[in-house]
Amino acid sequence: MADNTSIKDGAGATVVLASKDVGGVQYPKRIAVDGTGAEVAVATSALQTANGTKLDTLHTDLAAEATLIGAVTEAAPASDTASSGLNGRLQRIAQRLTSLLPSSAHDAAIAGNPFRKAVRAVTANYTAVASGDTADAIGTTVGVPIQRPFSIPELDWSYAAASGGEVGAADIAVKAAAGAGLRNYMTWLTAENVHATVDTEFVIKDGATVIYRGFLKALGVGSLRIVFPSPLRGTAATALNIACITTGSQVYFNCGGYVAP
């Protein structure tokens, strides 16, 4: 229905009333007029002004947000740090991920820059980390992982028997104390008593503490050839010693191992 409503006054004349058609129902319009019937302008209320300001601010904020988000078709920035909207930044991230992830099947030529695993190439142990900390896997300087399974070659040690063998009962330092926080490990040992008549016990010591005891018959009977599946482990910064128990035997000791925390 049309706006405004026509009615008859008491004299039968047609009078038009200002109204508004809302859903088929006419609602009177309220218009301020002066004594002459002229329309009077209504001042905007403080609430209307405040709301208008809020709408303007909202419009400005939305425009700023749109700039930050960027167009759906926004190009990726030229570098990881170049200015860009969110859509452009996401495209850059997608490009970087694509370049890192392998894009070739097994036995196909490598394409792009696939993610690669690596080891730390070392020729000496790095400082031991605390228990529970992350530690780098180590390898040789051409990237071969250490699979020895104990330590890097530079940290191996060995002891050769003294000329004529050991005939006394004093401690023999087969491996001097390692640095602070480092231990000596023994992985193999050979021992042979060539004296004609004197048998002897012998011991391996962590400093002054016996950690292995053996026995050697005279004339090379029962010579030892031992590989320790679980290496003999010394105390940090402590020498490894070997000693015969009986003076007068003639024993040839040879042994080796590695240094590690």
Residues 6+ apart with CB under 8 A from 205: 171, 211, 240, 241, 242, 243
What's the mean per-residue pLDDT of the chain? Answer: 85
User: Among the listed ranges 45-49, 50-54, 237-241, which one has the minimum average pLDDT value?
Assistant: 45-49
Q: Cα–Cα distance between 251 and 249 in angstroms, integer?
A: 6
Beta bridge partners of 121: 139
Residues 6+ apart with CB under 8 A from 131: none
* pLDDT of res. 50: 66
Average pLDDT of the residues in 23-51: 68
Residue 69, SS3 per DSSP: helix
Burial level of 26, CB count in 10 A (0-12/13-18/19+)? middle
Nearest to 192 by CA among 217, 163, 172, 168: 217
Give backbone dihedrals phi and psi of 229, rounded to 5 degrees, phi first.
Answer: -60, -40
Q: Cα–Cα distance between 115 and 99 in angstroms, integer?
A: 8
44: pLDDT strictly greater than 60: no
Nearest to 215 by CA among 193, 241, 183, 238: 193
In tens, the pLDDT along 130-145 reads 989 999 999 999 999 9
Q: What is the set of domains in the chain, with CATH numbers?
A: 117-147 (no CATH), 153-260 (2.60.120)
In tens, the pLDDT along 81-129 reads 788 888 888 888 887 777 767 667 778 887 766 667 789 999 998 898 8
- Give CA separation, 258 vs 152, 176, 211, in Å: 8, 12, 17
Q: What's the 3-state SS for 206-227?
A: ECCEEEEEEEECHHHCCCEEEE
37: pLDDT strictly greater than 70: no
* pLDDT of res. 211: 98
- Please report where in the chains the tokens 């240094």 appear, as a residue: 259
Asked if residue 239 lies in contact with residue 184, where contact means CB atoms within 8 angstroms, the answer is yes
Instruction: Provide the pLDDT confidence category of residue 180 given band limits of 50, 70 and 90.
Output: very high
Nearest to 104 by CA among 91, 119, 117, 114: 114
* pLDDT of res. 83: 81
Each residue of 227-248: b (16+ CB within 10 Å) or e? eeeebbebeeebbbbbbbebee
* pLDDT of res. 150: 86
Instruction: Provide the pLDDT confidence category of residue 49 given band limits of 50, 70 and 90.
Output: low
155: pLDDT strictly greater than 90: yes
* pLDDT of res. 167: 96
Nearest to 218 by CA among 255, 160, 167: 167
Rounded to 10 degrees, what is the CA torsion of 224, 227, 229, 234?
90
175: pLDDT strictly greater than 80: yes
